[in-house]
Structure 1
Amino acid sequence: METEFYKIRRLPPYVFAEVNAMKAKARATGDDIIDFGMGNPDFPTPPHIVDKLTETVRDPRTHRYSESRGIKGLRRAIAGYYGRRFGCEIDPEREAVVTLGSKEGLANLAQAISSPGDVMMVPNPSYPIHQFGFIIAGAAVRNIPVRTDETFMAALERAVVHSVPKPTALVLNYPNNPTTEVADLDFYGQVVEFCRHHGIYILSDVAYAEIYFDGNPPPSMLQIPGARDITVEFTSMSKTYSMPGWRIGFACGNARLVAALGRVKSYLDYGAFTPVQVAATAALNGPQACVEEMRRRYRERRDVLISGLATAGWEVPSPAATMFAWAPIPPAFRHLGSLEFSKMLLREAKVAVSPGVGFGEHGDGYVRFALVENRHRIRQAVKNIKSFLARYHNVLERAEERLAAAK
């Protein structure tokens, strides 16, 4: 009876747990850790959204079970958002479903459309649920690169030719977590044409579509003619309105996929708490200046971090979107891998980041910074990192001795 359960055996140890344990231990001894690890927005939820929640929760009628696929008002607000932002007409009855954050929606749709042995194409590196939602559901995963060029299209071709059975679905995530790469409509058009031709569903995650910095709003795949025949798109209120703990998101697009997700959800939950859904409706329908202010503050943090790391001798690409920076490990430390390098940053510079390997083996040459500390804290982190890099020979020698002793 001590054999590990089958689905648990398919899940590797959670890489981030090692860094989190070190972080907790350091804080317990009084260390001030500057934490860029988790993409957990630190801005307060805008007041008008909180006010709507508190107003609604005072009505005892809202304390009962809600609707699993979302209250009508919120589904209409979702359709309104897609119309204003992307010029897409969404049927709130057939083409929209409310989820408990995009993570729940992605995982439950994976359950709905997967059978053991099905092949799913998932980017690597990627947000873990993109891959492990399918693995938990019993499917096989084929990794594809996080690119928007001919390399990506060539990978799709190989997957169709060499996968048995043919892939059922493709997951896309742009702006991407963790790499921050963005996609345009030309790229989406190529992908839709390919997947329609081969009968492959597309699950598009656009959770970071409202966090962009260069004046070009990231598009929706549903803007492509014919995309709705095969595509469902997920997003979340967490990042756009700084509502991560509220656990509210939605999926739009292909009516068959939306219905499949809704049917699975009907067995698993009664929907988000009604006052949360009413507040989310107020967020989508209300003033959007709060979203622009959030973009401005993330942009300021990005600029402080990227310019500061450059002065420390660490060149990191400036992201055009998302709340992250995807930092290539400095050459002197690359052989250690991202997990050991993340531990070293925590130990020597008191800075916590996410090891790239936690997003897939192709992320192992990188670490991810989440822009969740204020500018003062970012400057302090840069100062600590600069000091660490200035004495890297001694630090590296100690780290290599540690690794050798652990073998």
Structure 2
Amino acid sequence: MKQAKRLQNLPEQFFSKLVQDVNQKIREGVDVINLGQGNPDQPTPDHIVKALARAAEDPQNHKYSLFRGKPEFKRAAANFYQREYGVRLDPEMEIAILFGSKAGLVELPLCFLDEGDLMLLPDPGYPDYLSGISLADARFETMPLREANQFLPDYHEITAETREQAKLMFLNYPNNPTGSTATKEFFAETIQFARENEIGIVHDFAYGAIGFEEEKPISFLANEGAKDVGIELYTLSKTYNMAGWRVGFAAGNREMIEAINLLQDRLYVSLFPAIQEAACAALLDSQEAVQDQNERYRKRRDAFLSAAAKIGWQGSAPAGSFFAWMKVPAGYTSSSFAQYLLDAAGVAVADGSGFGTFGEGYVRIGLLVSEARLEEAVDRIGQLAVFQKAEENFIKSY
């Protein structure tokens, strides 16, 4: 059977090649330290697992769920946002349950873009943002994220023609892959930009719980007028180490929430009810595990950056997320450097160019192994002397 064009035209899965390359090295007997992944390495907190076990034993949860999910889960999500961000949400009208936030990111272009319509994406950005655009047969333009601007888009760079045509915009802070965070001033500017140009905002808040500064990362919805122009997507994958559970929700603008629900009514009969009950436990019960996890990532970040500094490896200290965005030494592209590290040091990193044109010159490091393994990875890379050679070549050329 010949596949439909919508499948043939899907973008290549960026991470699939990385997984294949890593697995091949492992089969060859290499002790690979995998810093290219974005999969949390810790187990789901025990009280959430036990909540699932109890709920799974209830025969009522073996039936079809309500199409738009359990009211208890929506109320739990609303209570979570009120507690954590001071944001009031109507559980029925302003929250839609998702099969993980990735599903919502793919669904949204289908909800709001017709063939040929335009949306705006961050560059660098999460590669799967492209999937929904492709399925919707829509177009996109990118907004460069530069270190000089704290990896925030500069709306003044967007042309009048693009402003007029664009219907939807994706943002993501804390940012994957750069680890940067947004400011209140930036979100205020975003809301004004959206109002003036009638653009719907989708804020991917996947790493919302992971921040290293005095204040936690800012919710887009906590800014005045945000619900008038957009929504925020929240996943339990990173906050509670529930990546394999595939559970999240969208919150905010009522018209956008209704569109998600309308599409999902045709695709699903909502999530397994027992997972929804476990999600309630995650959102409402003790958050001690979340605090412990943040401290774990902070220690890993500091250990990695300290080790990297000793070998002359420069990068941006992440303010949020569990990624470090590190510069590639002179003489390499992002792709060639990532391949060299895997072949010569047994260290896997994510090629920055896979996240967009403005990802060239960087690699993404996942802080998802122990401090000792992070330090070992840097030690292996240091033995290659690539940063010392780059500095020596610079001095000679100067």
TM-score in terms of structure 2 length: 0.93
Which piece of structure 1 moves more, 106-115 or 283-292?
A: 106-115
Contact 2:338–2:348 (Cα < 8 Å) also in 1? yes
Corresponding position: 1:339 with 2:339: no
| Cα distance in structure 2, aligned partners of 1:360 and 1:354 | 12
Name the amino acid aligned to 1:339: S
Contact 1:118–1:165 (Cα < 8 Å) also in 2? no
CA deviations 1:42-84 (Å, max 9, x no partner) are 1111111011001111112211222343211110011111111
| Cα distance in structure 2, aligned partners of 1:141 and 1:319 | 27
- Which blocks of at least 5 consecutive residues in structure 2 are unaligned? 391-398
Contact 1:135–1:141 (Cα < 8 Å) also in 2? no
The CA deviation at 1:379 is: 1.6
Equivalence map 1:232-247=2 (5 Å):
232-247=231-246
Contact 1:16–1:355 (Cα < 8 Å) also in 2? no
Equivalence map 1:199-214=2 (5 Å):
199-214=198-213
| Cα distance in structure 1, aligned partners of 2:361 and 2:80 | 38
Contact 1:114–1:137 (Cα < 8 Å) also in 2? yes
Corresponding position: 1:373 with 2:369: yes
What secondary structure, in the 3-state scheme, does the structure 2 residue paired with 1:128 have?
coil
Contact 2:188–2:223 (Cα < 8 Å) also in 1? yes
Matched residue, 2:277:
278
Name the amino acid aligned to 1:375: E
Kindly, what percent of the aligned residue pairs are identical? 37
Name the amino acid aligned to 2:32: I
User: What is the aligned counterpart of 2:155 among 150, 153, 156?
Assistant: 153
Contact 2:73–2:276 (Cα < 8 Å) also in 1? yes
The CA deviation at 1:16 is: 3.2
Matched residue, 2:214:
215
Contact 1:70–1:99 (Cα < 8 Å) also in 2? no
Equivalence map 1:8-407=2 (5 Å):
8-146=7-145, 152-156=154-158, 158=159, 161-163=160-162, 166-333=165-332, 337-389=333-385
| Cα distance in structure 2, aligned partners of 1:107 and 1:68 | 19
| Cα distance in structure 2, aligned partners of 1:165 and 1:130 | 21
| Cα distance in structure 2, aligned partners of 1:372 and 1:22 | 18
Alignment length (residue pairs): 387
The CA deviation at 1:151 is: 5.8
The CA deviation at 1:164 is: 8.6
Contact 2:124–2:355 (Cα < 8 Å) also in 1? yes
CA RMSD of aligned residues (A): 2.0
Contact 2:195–2:229 (Cα < 8 Å) also in 1? yes
What secondary structure, in the 3-state scheme, does the structure 2 residue paired with 1:42 have?
coil
CA deviations 1:152-190 (Å, max 9, x no partner) are 12134x1xx123961101111111101111111111001
CA deviations 1:2-33 (Å, max 9, x no partner) are 7x742244334334333322211111121110
Contact 2:52–2:278 (Cα < 8 Å) also in 1? yes
Name the amino acid aligned to 1:233: E
Contact 2:312–2:387 (Cα < 8 Å) also in 1? no
| Cα distance in structure 2, aligned partners of 1:66 and 1:380 | 47
Contact 1:119–1:165 (Cα < 8 Å) also in 2? no
What secondary structure, in the 3-state scheme, does the structure 2 residue paired with 1:191 have?
helix
The CA deviation at 1:229 is: 1.2
CA deviations 1:290-333 (Å, max 9, x no partner) are 10000000011111111111111212221111010011111232
Name the amino acid aligned to 1:386: G
TM-score in terms of structure 1 length: 0.91
Name the amino acid aligned to 1:316: G
| Cα distance in structure 2, aligned partners of 1:19 and 1:108 | 26
| Cα distance in structure 1, aligned partners of 2:118 and 2:237 | 30
- Which blocks of at least 5 consecutive residues in structure 1 are unaligned? 395-407
Matched residue, 2:393:
none
